[in-house]
Amino acid sequence: MGAPTRRAPGSLGVKALVCIIMILVFLVANIINYKETTFLRNQIMNQSGSTAKASDIKRSVAATSDMKVNDCLLQIAHVTDIKVYSQNDEDGALLQTLRCMGGHGTKEYFEFGSENGMEVNTRILRDIYGWKGHLLDGGNENDEINLHKEFFSPSNIVSLLEKYKASKSLDVLSIDSDYDDFYIMREILLAGYTPRILIVEFNSNLGNELAVTVTPTRPLEKMNENPNAGHYWKHNCYMGASAAALIMLAEVFGYVPVWSNHVNLFFVNLALALKEDLLLPSVQNFPGPHPRRIHSNCDGEIWKLIDTNYTAYAALDLSLSHSEWSNGYRDIKLGFKNYGEDSDYGNGWREVFVID
């Protein structure tokens, strides 16, 4: 047998010291990360609930780049082939978004613009997962599924939520008015409703560049006198708001987009998403790379051009009615620009809206 190998004096001590230093560095880094994360969460919670500006919170996030996050929300696109009851692929997107945002919670939803309640965003929650909630529609009612025949507008939507006792912190709110979604969304969020997930229909004819919406709807009392009078959707392209306009407004109230198809935008409550350490997709992803001209016949209509700075403060002004708030936006007209057969848009969608 050979003689045992002799180690140089002190070699074990040096290795041990190096290991101790590495462990200390790891522990210190985690302590700093924990303090930064806690500080960020406290900042968010100390702001006015979910009405804190998303841009302010994002700046706080930038200062805590070492936060541990997960990409659950980025995986929504991989489950959007799931369609059970929804109009398109909203069923899969909604289930994945709920999974990311802490699960099914109190199982409360509120959806309006639901027609007969059979092909809606929340039916899968009601029929398969036992959720409770209310549906509103101007032409349908069904007591078995809490579908109420109600004509809703920015003027009365909050009173209808109160009438049917919707919780301020309900889990899912779905907005589809076919006309003044932008104004209805503002009234609900301004009244202090903070759903975990917010679904809003947008006008896909407008692409992802223009931030515009229709002018406000007629006063509710006028609609009751003559439902065919004034502004309402006439099955043309003069309807709703662009995705860019809705995203701008949602950000003011602390909501960020996480998924869209060619009909709906899904938003999540940013403060709650950060509490779950969720990585958020870029806002530039929405509503997708190309506009889709689905409707026509809205030449000469007046649109409101949504301005970032005005929206940031005026949307939160409780003293402004939705029509008064709307007066602060510039009136514009839109026209079509034809990109021709060689357009990069493809799929036949070569004409897009531009400001006249």
CA 151 to the chain's CA centroid: 24
- CA distance linking residue 140 with residue 94, whole number of Å: 24
Number of domain units in the chain: 1
The residue with tokens 């897009």 is: 352
252, 239, 254: which is closest to 310 by C-alpha? 252
Angle at 56 between CA 50 and CA 60, to 5 degrees: 105
Q: Where are the beta strands (DSSP E) in the chain?
A: 108-112, 132-137, 147-149, 172-175, 197-201, 212-214, 255-260, 264-269, 303-305, 330-332, 334-338, 351-355
Confidence of residue 32 (pLDDT cuts 50, 70, 90): very low
Q: Are 211 and 245 in contact (CB under 8 A)?
A: yes
Question: Long-range contacts of range 322-327, CB-CB < 8 Å, 24 or more positions apart?
Answer: 322/154, 322/155, 322/180, 322/183, 322/186, 322/187, 322/216, 323/216, 325/183, 325/186, 326/183, 326/215, 326/216
| Per-residue pLDDT tens over the stretch 214-226 | 998 655 544 445 4
Q: Which of 343, 353, 95 is nearest to 238 (CA)?
A: 353
Q: Give the least confident one: 70-74, 194-198, 250-254, 284-288.
A: 284-288
Find where tokens 């402004």 sit: 320
Instruction: Please report which confidence band the pLDDT of residue 56 belongs to, taking 50, 70 and 90 as the band edges.
Output: very low
Q: Is 3 within the bounds of a domain?
A: no
**Residue with more model confidence, 36 or 242:** 242
pTM of the model: 0.76
Residue 314: inside a domain, yes or no? no
What is the per-residue pLDDT across 121-149, written as a single tens digit (0 to 9) for each?
999 999 999 999 999 998 899 999 999 99
With respect to residue 350, please indicate whether it lies within any of the assigned structural domains.
no
* Domain assignment of residue 303, yes or no: no
Per the structure, the complete domain to which residue 223 belongs is given by 72-290
- Tokens 């996480």 appear where? 258
Asked whether residue 29 is assigned to any structural domain, the reply reads no
DSSP 261-315: -SSEEEEEEHHHHHHTTBPPPPGGGSS-SS--------TT--EEEPPHHHHHHHT
The CATH number of whichever domain residue 265 belongs to comes to 3.40.50
Nearest to 173 by CA among 83, 266, 106, 96: 266
Q: Is the pLDDT of residue 36 over 70?
A: no
Q: Tell me whether residue 104 is in a domain.
A: yes
Q: How confident is the model at residue 312 (pLDDT cuts 50, 70, 90)?
A: very high
Q: Does residue 30 lie within any of the structural domains?
A: no
Residue 125 lies in a domain: yes
Q: What is the DSSP letter of 255?
A: E
Enter the tokens of residue 336: 């079509």
pLDDT per position as a tens digit, 70-98: 899 999 988 877 889 998 889 999 999 99
Distance CA 338, CA 270 (A): 38
Question: Residue 233: is its pLDDT beyond 80?
Answer: no
Q: What 3-state DSSP class applies to 242?
A: coil
Query: Residue range 313-325: average pLDDT?
Result: 96
